[in-house]
């Protein structure tokens, strides 16, 4: 299957600072990338969808100014959590769709964010 | 509103047994149904997927059964192994939408 990487795998930051998470599709081109958030023992919650070169589409209830998403190329998307607060602590997972395989969607290994 | 309903929430199976996880949906526009396996602290991994033009798909020990008229699909894990212990998510997407709708997940424990 296709490989999606995320960096960093875990990060600890202080309240009020910003954190950037990178998501890369390593062996395929992804016109669409997705960002999810997952709380312990819960399902994945879609935060936003981004298409290469376009602004991200955010799900209802997700603050656009807090979670900045950039999808500058077919292999890279970034999520920046701005002015992080302890309630932003979570497991963030990116996902990418392979344009050569219309339906399949692959997930990254996730990033554990802890805000102190 | 939960677009995809998944059951059971948790499942304990003896090694060598069959694990069965069920999902149901309402949106008849859904036409892609993947299953993902997730280990603690890891991202979901695509396990197997089916489209509604077939009623069953098998890959190794994993089989998806699909019932279009009942709007249900299920994952069967044959000869379950302790290494299969993980959380399994079903999902669905329609061609008009861009994202997957996930079930709530099933935590599978296979005991030796």
A102: Cβ contacts below 8 Å, ≥ 6 apart: none
Question: Which residues from chain B sit within 8 angstroms of residue A32, using beta carbons?
Answer: 98
> Which of B31, B32, B44, B57 to mutate to test binding with chain A, by most A CBs within 10 Å of its CB?
B44
- d(Cα B100, Cα B32) in Å, to the nearest integer? 9
Output the CA–CA distances (angstroms, integers) from residue B67 to A36, B27, B86, in the order listed.
Answer: 29, 14, 25
- d(Cα B32, Cα A35) in Å, to the nearest integer? 20
Give the closest of A32, A41, A104 to B46, CB-based.
A104
Taking the alpha carbons at both ends of chain B, their separation in whole angstroms is 38
Closest among A11, A20, A23 to A95, alpha carbons compared: A23
Sign of CA dihedral A38, A44, A49, A50: positive
Q: pLDDT of chain A along its 116 residues, tens only?
A: 689 999 999 999 999 999 999 999 998 888 899 999 999 989 999 999 998 888 899 999 999 999 999 988 889 999 999 999 999 999 999 999 877 776 788 999 999 999 99
Q: What is the pLDDT of residue A98?
A: 78
Nearest CA in chain A to B6: A43
């Amino acid at each position: 299957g296709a490989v999606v990487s995320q960096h960093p795998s875990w990060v600890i930051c202080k309240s009020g600072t910003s954190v950037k998470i990178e998501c890369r599709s390593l062996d395929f081109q992804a016109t669409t990338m997705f960002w999810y958030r997952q709380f312990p023992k819960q399902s994945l919650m879609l935060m936003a969808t981004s298409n290469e070169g376009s602004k991200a589409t955010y799900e209802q209830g997700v603050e656009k100014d807090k979670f900045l998403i950039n999808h500058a190329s077919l292999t890279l998307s970034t999520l920046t959590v701005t002015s992080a607060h302890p309630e932003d602590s979570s497991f963030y997972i990116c996902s990418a769709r392979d344009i050569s395989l219309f339906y399949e969607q692959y997930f990254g290994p996730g990033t554990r964010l802890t805000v102190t | 509103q939960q677009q995809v309903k998944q059951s059971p929430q948790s499942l304990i199976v003896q090694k060598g047994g069959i694990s069965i996880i069920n999902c149901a949906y309402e949106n008849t526009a859904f036409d892609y149904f993947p299953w993902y396996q997730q280990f603690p602290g890891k991202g979901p991994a695509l396990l197997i997927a089916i489209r509604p033009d077939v009623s069953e798909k098998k890959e190794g020990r994993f089989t998806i059964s699909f019932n279009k008229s009942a709007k249900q699909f299920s994952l069967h894990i044959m000869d379950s192994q302790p290494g299969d212990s993980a959380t399994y998510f079903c999902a669905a997407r329609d061609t008009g939408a861009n994202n997957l709708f996930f079930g709530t997940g099933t935590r599978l424990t296979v005991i030796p």
